[in-house]
C-alpha cells in the first residue's frame, strides 16, 4: 500500500508506549496495532485527530505516501488485513 503509517516514529519521539497511546486516544490496543502496522484500509478523521492531539503532531507526521514497486502488488499480510477500518475513539 502506498500510504505508510509512521506512528512508531512519533511514539519513540514522545517516549510513549503503544498501550499508553491507545488509552489516551480511546481505541483498543488491537485497533492501534492494526493501524500502526499498516494493515488498516481506512482511518476515521476523529481517530486521526485524537492521535494528533495526544502526540502533538500533524497528520503528515503520522502518514506519508510512498510509490509502490509494482502496480497491483499485494503481499499475504496485506491480503489478510483487507477491509479493516480503525474506528473512532471509544469504539
* pTM recorded for the entire structure: 0.74
10 Å CB burial of residue 48 (0-12, 13-18, 19+) is middle
> CB–CB of 39/77 below 8 Å?
yes
Q: What pLDDT, on a 0 to 100 scale, did the predictor assign at position 76?
A: 45
pLDDT, tens digit, 9 for 90 and up, residues 19-72: 999 999 999 999 999 999 999 999 999 999 999 999 999 999 999 999 987 444
Domains of the chain plus CATH, in order, are 1-62 (1.10.260.40)
Residue 4 pairs with which residues in a beta bridge?
Answer: 64
Model confidence at 82, pLDDT cuts 50, 70, 90, reads: low
Residue 77 CB-half CA count within 13 A: 6
Amino acid at each position: 500500500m502506498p500510504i505508510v503509517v509512521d506512528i512508531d516514529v512519533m511514539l519513540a519521539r514522545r517516549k510513549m508506549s503503544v498501550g499508553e497511546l491507545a488509552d489516551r486516544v480511546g481505541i483498543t490496543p488491537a485497533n492501534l496495532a492494526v493501524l500502526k502496522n499498516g494493515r488498516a484500509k481506512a482511518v476515521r478523521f476523529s481517530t486521526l485527530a485524537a492521535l494528533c492531539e495526544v502526540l502533538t503532531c500533524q497528520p503528515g507526521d503520522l502518514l506519508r505516501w510512498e510509490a509502490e514497486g509494482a502496480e497491483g502488488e499485494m503481499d499475504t499480510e496485506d491480503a489478510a488485513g483487507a477491509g479493516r477500518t480503525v474506528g473512532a475513539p471509544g469504539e
